[in-house]
A and B are shown apart, each in its own frame.
Chain A
Amino acid sequence: MWQLKPKLNTEDIELMGHKINPTGLRLGITQEHRSHWYAPTKSYPTLLREDDMIRNFINDKYSAAGVSDVLISRKADQLEVELKTARPGVLVGRQGSGIDDLRNGIHKILKDPNRQVRINVVEVERADADAYLLAEYIAQQLEKRMAFRRAIRMATQRAQRAGVLGLKIQVSGRLNGAEIARTEWTREGRVPLHTLRADIDYATKIASTTYGVLGIKVWVFKGEVISKENRHTPTGVNPRRRANRRSNEE
C-alpha cells in the first residue's frame, strides 16, 4: 500500500528551539537591573550612553581585578557606581589610590569634574560561584592554550567546592584548535532554566585565540527563592570571612 509522504514543511525546519537569556527572563524577579535610575524620555539615551562609557572604561582598566558586575544608580545628578569584584585589594590599590583613579577616569568620561560620584567596591562572597568570574577564568585558560576539557573540569571543581546547587558550562568553537568547530557542554546538579524563582547566574565570555573565537557560557544555579525575606536556601560550604564592604564617599 503506497503511503503518501507529506511534503517537507519548510516553515517547521526553520523554527528551531532557542533559549532566552536567563538573566533577562528574571529581571522582575530574582535578578536586579544593572542600572537603576529614572530618566525622562529626552535624557534617557544620553544617560544610557554615559553608563555604557563608564562600564567600558571599568572593564578595560580593571580586568585584572576580576570585576564581576557594575551597578550604576543615579539620584538627582548624583552617580553611584558599585563594583563587585573578587579581589577588592587589587582594585583599591594602596590607600585607595585605585578608587581615586577610577573617579578621575569617570570625571574625564563625563567631561564634568563637578559631578558627584560615589564609588563602592564590594567583595563577591563566593568568587567561585559567580558565573562571570568562572567564565572569565575559563576564557583565560583557553587563551593560554589549555585543553578545553581540562579548563572546564577545573572550573567545575572550583564551583563545586564553593557549594553550588547546579552548574552548566558550554564552550563552542574550534576546540583545541580543531579544524571543524563544535560545541561541548557539561552539567552538574540542577539548572532549572524554566523555573523563574531559581536564582541562576548566567554569563557569556569570548576567548580569542590564534585559531579564532571561542564562546563560553556559564550557568550557575544558586538556589530557589521562596519568599522575599530569606533569599537563597543556603548551600554547603561557608566562605572564608573577610572584610566585606569598602566604600568611599565624595
Chain B
Amino acid sequence: QHRHLLELLKRTTVHGESNSALIIGPRGSGKTALLNHVLKDLREMREVRENLLEDPFLPGLLQTNDKVALKEITRQLQLENVVGDKVFGSFAENLAFLLEALRKGSRTSSCPILFVLDEFDLFVHHKNQTLLYNLFDISQSAQTPVTVIGLTCRQDILELLEKRVKSRFSHRQIYVMNSFDFKQYIKMFKKQLSLPAEFPDEPFAQKWNNNVQHLSEDKTVQDVLQKLFHHSKDLHSLHLLLMLAVSAVTVHHPLLTAADLQEASRQHSTDSKANIVHGLSVLEICLIIAMKHLNEVYDGEPFNFQMVYNEFQKFIQRKAHSMYNFEKPVVMKAFEHLLQLELVQPLERPSVRAQREYLLMKLLLDSSQIMDALQVYPNCPTDVKQWAASSLSWL
C-alpha cells in the first residue's frame, strides 16, 4: 500500500501525470498516517522537493459545502493575494476563478498539486458534487497536474458517486485494513509504551523499558490486551487504554503495574447507562424495575406512566415492607427525572393535548443492565431486589 501510494504520488510530481485515488479503511486503521508517511518520504526525495509539491488538505467535517471548500483551496494554494483585490463576490465567480487558475497550467510547466480530501464521503453529499466533478475533470484533462486523494472509511463510497463523477474517477482504491494478529498487537503495545532512546534520564528509561518488557509477558496484562483486541483492532482504543493506565503513574509510583492496566481496562469497558443507574434513588430504581416487568409482560411494547404507577402500587401493596407509599405527584417527579436522564424515551414528541401520564414511553435499558446495576447498588432494600429478580411469581 505504502509503495503503491508512493509510486502514484511520485509519478504526479516527477512526470506531471494526473491521478485520483481513494484510500479506504475502517476508523483508526491508519489512513492518514499512511498518507503522511508517504508525503514525508516523498519530500525527502530530491527531485520531488524541488518541484514544490503543494497539497491543500481539506477535512470534510470543516468544508460543509463547496463554497467553503473552494475558499479554503484558494487560501491554501496561496492564491488569495491575487484574489485580495477582487471583491470576492459570488460562489460562481469563485469557481470560475479557480478553474481558470487550474486550467492555465499544462502538464510540463506548472507544478503539481495534491488535493487531500479527508472524510471524502462528506464531499459526496455536496450539491451536485460540483467540487468532485471539477477536481476529477481536471485530473482527467491536460491541465495542471493534480492528484486527488480521498480518505474515507466507507466501503460503499463508489456507489455514492454520481455516474459522470464516477466515470471521471480513475478507480484506484487503496484499502487499509487492520490485518495484524495478536502478537503484532503486543509488539505495538510495547513500542507505544517504551521510552525512546533520546530520553534524557537514561537509567530511568532503561528501568521503564525493562518494566514494559516484563509487563508484555505478564499473563494478566495479556488477558487485558486480548480482551481489548477482541473488541476492536482500532489503535486509538489501545492508546486510550494506555493513557488511562499511564495517568496513574506518579513520583511515588514510578512504574506501571499490571493492576494499573486492569483498572484502566475496567474503566474503559464500563457501561455508561449502568453507571447512571448507580446514582438513582430507591424510588427511581423501583420505577425502572416496574418498567422492566412491564417490558417482559408486554414483550417490549411501549408503556405510559399510569401503567408504571399501577405496577409500582401493586408492589407497594403486596410486597413492600420498607418502602414508603409515595404520593402520585412525587412518583411523577421521579419519572420525569428518569426521562431527563434519557433512561426512558418518549415515542413521539410531547404534545399539548396529550396528558403526560398517558404519553407512551420506552425503556432504554436492557434487563441485564438493570440486574448488573442492582448487584452493585449500595443499601438496596432486599424486598426491592427480590421484586427485581422474581417478577412473575406474584403476578
Q: Do A and B come from one complex?
A: no
B residues with CB within 8 A of A: none
A residues with CB within 8 A of B: none
